[in-house]
Amino acid sequence: MINPLDSLRTALDGRYAVERLIGQGGMATVYLARDSRHDRPVAIKVLRPELAASIGSDRFLREIRVAAHLQHPNILALYDSGEAAGFLYYVMPFVEGESLRARLDREEQLPLPDAVQITCEIANALHYAHTRRVIHRDIKPENVLLQEGHALVADFGIARAVSEAGGDKLTETGMAIGTPHYMSPEQALAAEHLDGRADQYSLACVFYEMLVGQPPFDGPNAMAILARQSMESVPSLQVVRNSIPDELEDAVMRALEKTPADRFPSVREFADSLCDVDLGPAARRTSSRAMRAVRRSTPRGLKTQQETRVPGARFWAVALASLVALAGTGFGAWQVWHRSGVESGAIAMGLDPHRIAVLYFQTDGDGDSLSYLADGLTEGLIRELNQVPGLEIISKTGVEIYRGDNVPRDSVARALRAGTLVTGDLEQRSGRLRVNIRLVDGGSGADFERASFEQSAGNLPSIQDTLSGRVADLIRERLGLEIRLREQRNRTRSTDAWAVLQRAGLHRKAAEAAAHKSDSAGVKREFERADSLLARVETLDPSWVEPIIGRASIAYRQSRLEGDEPLRASRWIEKGHSHVNRALKLAPQNPDALELRGNLRYWRWLLSLESEPAAARALLRSAQTDLEQAVRVAPNQAGAWATLSHLYYQTGNLVDVKLAARRAYEEDAYLSNADVVLSRLFYVSYDLGQFSDAVHWCEAGQLRFPADPKSVECQLYLLTTRSQEPDVARAWKLSDSLVKLATGSDRDYQRFNSRMMVAATIARAGLADSARRLAQRSRGSPEIDPTRDLIYAEAFVLTLLGHREDAIKALKVYLAANPEKRTALSEDATWWFRALQEDPRYRDLVGLAQ
């Protein structure tokens, strides 16, 4: 096979001495070479052959001459371009410095003066090009080089060359030039005419990342990023970095407006608004508008937050701005988005074919005896497809409620917002197993691809491999994706071990069903059977880590069910620790084992089983370390993200709470405790004063879990904010609903708490006397509310009414019951008490008085 490097050397021999490959991306490959004529190092970028063929050399070279005429101190020059032996290439200086991406990877956040200087220099380059009607189209940290502290914009005009030269052909294939994290909304939608405001948006995204360490919108794939970009407001810079002056925040937010007409008229004006900001005292002060939040105490009813909940058929899904999938990534590369050419009922209905639901396989013949195998094959296929970039796979929890044939397939697809369904069935005859697979169009419910295979029933792991490969082939044909399923690590090759593991899984499911019915005897019986089978798997294949993790998981689950009896829970925690430590000896970086050990340690901390404060702090740190390592190893580890979102409440960082909860929900919207994660996203947004996000997450919870009390409570809390009109009648109705939904001893507390939120709504409506009387009647008693959270809520009502002295008195009562909260209030006060922050009496109360 001919080596492309050797071919390029031959083609450019005499002009450039090509030395080595230095980078590769979606549209070009980069080589280090020496310019023979001028004896200088250069970087040669060679277009990928398929792109070069579609564009044609004449048009490409004609357009690239435009870039060659750009001469500016902040633009990396274009030395040369040409065609040789079928290669389309262009030549630029080889810069010894580093890229902005390399610096961000190393430092994460840049000092304010550095970030402003770099942004203004990029803006100067862009303004120069815009006045010559050249739009860059791909501003990102990878395309900004830093030489002796100054910015050089690289690849200037190349995106234009590709776009303009490719013209109609690129349009026909649905390709767009750009990188999703930095692409303006109009560019993402492949607008026919772009102007300099598209580059301005991209530059603002880069500046945003320099300040806070990440772009404004992130997500697991291009579609998720587009959805956020189109539906969500830009997160405040000052939430993450409160030293950012108001003027910088205002300028960035304007440049990131979704509509070009709402941005600065030119990139020069954007730069002027940044460069005029005084970065002396302003850069060191805390902004008067910086979001402030106090650590919320461990949510009431923590021990009842069951993790076995199976979501109902109601769903929430973001409407995507466009149906695109990322087709190319890499070092210094153009990111090419390709809209699939598939035409189907799914697309017609707005369903994305790349969002796939694998429904549980059915069984024919000996149905009961094959059910464990059908479940194992289904869940294994979900796990493997979930590792494929470019696909969004519904989790097993999301599809579990659609077992059986009683729900029409197109209805399932609409409920899950899945453009493609994978269904199948198994039948066994004469020692052989036949597997029938179908790919179903989500919009119409019609089959569009079918396949079958038959293998000996004696080699079950091989059947799993064959199934994954066949489904990958069908999806590749359907979507035009190049599917490469990863080899599943630590898989057993023992048929008996694999089969017994699947049987253990059935007993675990039976135990969870018994827990849902409060059948403690059934829980004990089924978990014991599952554990016994997993122990047998260990003997069949001692090197397989999965059965050990399964046994640790059972012990952890039983410790959660014993949460009201800490000593009994402690015994299960110790048993789980013993198993998970054995698993980590076999596989030190197994993300499931790391997540499980983090969960066990955190649960032990929550139950206060460590009496020594130093030991308790060390336990919390070790839990955090395990969970963070789990998501480093496997960024899609939704369960670990969910636990981290709760743990970060204890460390007082509400921004981290929100980011972790968001990652959990993005990675698996059908997580078993998705109701809790959605509620957490609402409350942390509420606490941070990000009310538009709070509304969004409350509505998401209502759609997914309409009967959940948390979906009602969030509506009541929103009435206390400026995001809603103070509708007193609605507040009373919501309060009554909450009390009816509450159970047991929680009902009395909920009655008083919900009425306190009604009082806050009445205060917002201007009915001061009525609000104060209701708040006084809703204080409860220490028996109902030993932590005096109701007094804390009353202080909020009094603050809304402007009764500062009485509000501070109420907070004194609260702190007397919770002296450990004084530090939290002094460090970062919630928006509830923003009006009190400069009051000397409040500052004295929380220990801030000088």
CATH code of residue 354: 3.40.50.10070
Within a domain: 339: no
Ranges in the chain, pLDDT < 50: 165-176, 281-348, 481-490
- The predicted pLDDT at position 139 comes to 94
Domain co-membership, 104 together with 88 = no
Task: Please tell me the number of Cα atoms within 13 Å of 131 on its side-chain side.
Answer: 9
Domain co-membership, 196 together with 78 = no
Answer yes or no: are the C-beta atoms of 396 and 671 closer than 8 Å. no
Domain co-membership, 44 together with 114 = no
Total count of domains within the chain: 4
Contacts of 618 (CB under 8 A, 6+ apart): none
Answer yes or no: are the C-beta atoms of 521 and 537 closer than 8 Å. no
Tokens of 454: 């038959």
Domain co-membership, 126 together with 258 = yes
- The predicted pLDDT at position 319 comes to 21
How far, rounded to the nearest angstrom, does the alpha carbon of residue 744 sit from its chain's CA centroid? 36
Domain co-membership, 242 together with 103 = yes
Nearest CA-CA partner of 217 in 203, 235, 199, 204: 235
* Residues 702-748 pLDDT 10s: 877 888 899 999 999 999 998 899 999 999 999 999 999 988 778 89
Within a domain: 545: no
How far, rounded to the nearest angstrom, does the alpha carbon of residue 581 sit from its chain's CA centroid? 29
Residues noted as catalytic: 138
Domain co-membership, 217 together with 364 = no
Q: Give 440's strand partners.
A: 421, 447
Within a domain: 547: no
Domain co-membership, 58 together with 115 = no
- The predicted pLDDT at position 314 comes to 22
Within a domain: 41: yes
**How far is Cα 627 from Cα 643, in angstroms, rounded to an integer?**
8
Answer yes or no: are the C-beta atoms of 27 and 51 closer than 8 Å. yes
* Amino acid, res. 679: S
Answer yes or no: are the C-beta atoms of 333 and 26 closer than 8 Å. yes
Domain co-membership, 250 together with 374 = no
How far, rounded to the nearest angstrom, does the alpha carbon of residue 675 sit from its chain's CA centroid? 16
Taking 3-state DSSP, the helix, strand and coil percentages for the chain, each rounded to the nearest 5, stand at: 55, 10, 35
* Residues 545-599 pLDDT 10s: 999 999 999 999 999 999 888 989 999 999 999 999 999 999 999 999 999 999 9
Domain co-membership, 356 together with 415 = yes
Residue whose token pair is 């996000």? 693
Contacts of 108 (CB under 8 A, 6+ apart): 213
Boundary (domain end) residue, out of 234, 251, 284: 284
**How far is Cα 779 from Cα 770, in angstroms, rounded to an integer?**
15
Tokens of 510: 């039976």
Within a domain: 528: no
**How far is Cα 412 from Cα 330, in angstroms, rounded to an integer?**
36
**How far is Cα 48 from Cα 28, in angstroms, rounded to an integer?**
5
Boundary (domain end) residue, out of 241, 268, 284: 284
Count other Cβ atoms within 10 Å, centred on residue 282: 16
Domain co-membership, 71 together with 198 = no
Domain co-membership, 29 together with 165 = no
Within a domain: 22: yes
CATH code of residue 243: 1.10.510.10
Answer yes or no: are the C-beta atoms of 66 and 163 closer than 8 Å. no
Number of residues written out for the chain:
850
Answer yes or no: are the C-beta atoms of 409 and 417 closer than 8 Å. no
* Residues 274-313 pLDDT 10s: 977 876 543 333 333 332 222 223 333 333 333 322 222 2
CATH code of residue 15: 3.30.200.20
Boundary (domain end) residue, out of 284, 300, 329: 284
Residue 774 burial (C-beta neighbours within 10 Å; 0-12, 13-18, 19+) = buried
Question: What's the DSSP call for residue 235?
Answer: P
- Its domain, for residue 51, covers 4-93
Q: Indicate the angle between helix axes 613-633 and 638-651, nearest 10 degrees.
A: 150
Within a domain: 678: no
Question: What's the DSSP call for residue 758?
Answer: H
- The predicted pLDDT at position 473 comes to 65
Domain co-membership, 230 together with 123 = yes
Residue whose token pair is 């959805």? 227
Within a domain: 179: yes
